[in-house]
A and B are shown apart, each in its own frame.
Chain A
Amino acid sequence: MQRTFNFRSLNVKLNAILLLIFVVLFIAITFIVNSVFETLVGEVGEDQADQEAQLVQQHFADMEASILNAGHQVSLATGIASLIETGDINQLRVLILLQAAPLEIENIVVFNRLNERLLTIAEDAAHTDEQEAEIAAVALTGSATTGFAIHDDEAVLQAAVPVKNTAGQVIATILVARHIDEAFMTELNFAREHVHLAFVVDGKLMARDSSKPEEFDDFEITSAIADRMRRGEVINLGSPREDADTTPDAVAYVPLRVADELHGYVVALIELDTVLNAQSSLSRSSLALVSVLGLVALGLGALSTHWMVLTPIRKVKEASRKMADGQLSERVALHSQDEIGDLSRTFNSMAEQLQTSFANLEKEIAETQKAREAAERSDQVKSAFLASMSHELRTPLNSVINFTKFVVKGMMGPVTDEQVQTLNEVIDSAKHLLNLINDVLDMSKIESGSLRLFVEDNVNIQAVLDQVVSTGKSLIVDRPVQITTTIDGTLPSIRGDRQRLLQILLNIMSNACKFTEQGQISVRAAQHNGSISISIQDSGPGIAPEDQGLVFEPFKQTRTGLRQGGGTGLGMPISKNLTEAHGGKMWLESTPGQGATFFVELPIQSAILTPVQVEGKS
């Protein structure tokens, strides 16, 4: 798979999510295992302390029995009774030493029937005579007993056994004793390394075993525990969480009774490390297993996303890219029944629709194009027809007008005044025809948008008006009509097509002349706000409101206009269009019976006009 590593890639995102899930699971499992482990530590600690308490009591009882047994063994030595009776102390000592040699006894004392000390075999004297006498007295009554004594910080476990003669009479007692010292404690502990024992009497540390005596260096008994110790309970502290770094020890306080009398406590510290190591390694391997399984799941997840999600999505992406490049026939070849299969089916149907719409669109465009071309062709045909008509009409008019003129000039021989007058009528009619042709052509130019202005920068509008007024005067010579001119100040030169401006105003003027039988035609012009306003007011019949709109529509003469005859019906529409082509406005105001006023407003420097670069002057 040759792809650049991209952080925005879906592949990376999905794998990141999987990784995140894995990490969260790992943390959760670790947390659970740890808390289970902690609970386990607590439980194991309590169990261990319980077991230890029983074990210690049991073993102590064994040791108590063992010392009593040792006493018995000594007392049952053959001949001991007769030696006591004969008082042969030396022989007795030898006999006892021989008998006691294999036994773990440290002190042996023999009392006579009067409870007087007969013989003492002792390594030290850790006990008082009174204590020994007291226990020996119990044995003199005929029953063996055990006892406990403390003297000079040393504790001693004792047993007193009666010695009987052949007649069954108690003739002496033998007292054996053993120090509760390090050796004793070590034996009590079975010499285990992970359990540490100490012997405490009245809160005082009397002895510890050899496993790790320093464990008890800072040994202290709280008052709460001391209270419970006075009541002689077995105190199981489980494993108090004191130090989080190391596995805590379980602690048990085990009361020791000798002859049903509480003499002290054995404090047992049980190191849980050993016990828990197995558990701990088990949980570590579970964690490792979870990790490995997680990684495998992660890999499987990544692979399945790749095959089930990413690859299909890439196919869809490829297809959409190809479609974007214009290959509309592209389809996604996916047949799975899942969401991506749905996606690809939806995509394919979308592509289908797109292709269809595109084909339709192309068809429509082609049709529109065809229609437009047809329209253009028809425009061209119309334009060519107009041009041809213009040409065909103008050609004969050239000879009509000019031959007539030659005749009028007398070039073809003498002509009478009457003939000149008639020939001039011919010329006027021909010129009217020419004007009609011109207007029709202008209108067709305007309607086809091909009107072109020959723009100059300084058209003398005053001179144009002068020409308009003089033409107007020539048109009303035979009528009682006055033409007045009111110019407000000096008119500036304006930007525009001189001929077309003349055409605009001449059209209005000839219109005014045509409809004014008598009265006045007023031409007014003024400059204001960057424009020139020109108005031509006549005293003709005026235009009915419903006809005012028609004035500016091509080929729609008003009823008055039709009655009046003449005119092409194109003059006003052409003028309005030419005015607007200059960026100006043209309108009329009229009250029927009171004449009409046509207004033309032209910008002095029209922004929509640019002077045409014409070769030479025109």
Chain B
Amino acid sequence: MTTQPVILYVEDDLRNRRVMELLLKGTMDLPHVYLFEDSRDFVSRATALDPKPTIVLLDIHVPPHNGFEMLTMLRDLPQYKGIPIVALTASVMNEEVEKLRTAGFDSIIAKPIDIDTFPSLLDRVLTGERIWNVLEAR
């Protein structure tokens, strides 16, 4: 990646948000990381972002609009067209993964994340790879 990714991450859990902030802003030193702690006024807030995100990470259990609803909203926004939308979730049982896939998410990243492999995972998604395998290496 020549240009740095612009990331929007929606997460209601303070600690998880903090982990990602440390990882993205601290370890990875990304200049553009938007963190939303809820999905209120999601469309207007997402539309207002500048520079616009090149990848969106969504937690699923977020009030008031869950991940699926946010996905639908984003898909209707012209400026998010073609941008990978990834479910970053602890809900990784088979049927849940299947629901995410059929809902139209581009990939899944399971919690807990591995901060050592996360950057390469992000790169793979940004280069168009679709990741649906949630098995952690022991």
Residues of A within 8 A of B (CB): 383, 386-387, 390-403, 405-406, 409, 411, 430-431, 434-435, 438, 441, 445, 450-452, 454, 471, 499-500, 502-503, 506, 510, 614-618
Contacts and interface: CB of A to CB of B under 8 A. Distances in A.
A616 B61 CA distance: 26
> Which of B89, B93, B113, B137 has most A Cβ within 10 Å?
B93
Contacts of B110: 394
Contact of A401 (B89, B112, B128): B112
A398 B94 contact: no
B19 A402 contact: yes
16 contacts: A387-B91, A387-B96, A390-B92, A390-B93, A394-B110, A394-B111, A398-B16, A398-B19, A402-B19, A411-B22, A434-B136, A435-B138, A454-B132, A503-B135, A614-B132, A617-B129
For chain A, what secondary structure do more than half of its interface residues adopt (helix, strand, loop), or is it mixed? helix
A568 to B, nearest CB: 11
B18 interface: yes
Nearest to A411: B26
A395 B138 contact: no
B138 A452 contact: no
Given A399-B18, A402-B115, A506-B138, A394 B90 contact: yes
B91 A406 contact: no
B47 interface: no
A445 B94 contact: yes
A402 B93 contact: no
B133 A454 contact: yes
Contacts of B137: 502
A503 B138 CA distance: 9
Contacts of A403: 15, 18-19
Interface in B81-126: 89-96, 98, 101, 107, 110-113, 115-116
Contacts, number: 105
A618 B132 contact: yes
B27 A394 contact: no
Contacts of A471: 138
Contact of B112 (A392, A402, A452): A402
Contact of B113 (A398, A438, A506, A510): A398
A326 B78 CA distance: 59
Given A399-B15, A411-B22, A450-B95, A499 B133 contact: yes
* Pairs A-B, 10 closest by C-beta atoms: A616-B130, A394-B90, A398-B112, A399-B15, A615-B130, A618-B133, A499-B135, A398-B111, A391-B90, A402-B19
B111 A615 contact: no
A395 B16 contact: yes
Contacts of A431: 138
Nearest to A398: B112
A499 B137 CA distance: 9
A450 B96 CA distance: 12
B136 to A, nearest CB: 7
A409 B95 CA distance: 36
Contact of A395 (B18, B90, B94, B128): B90
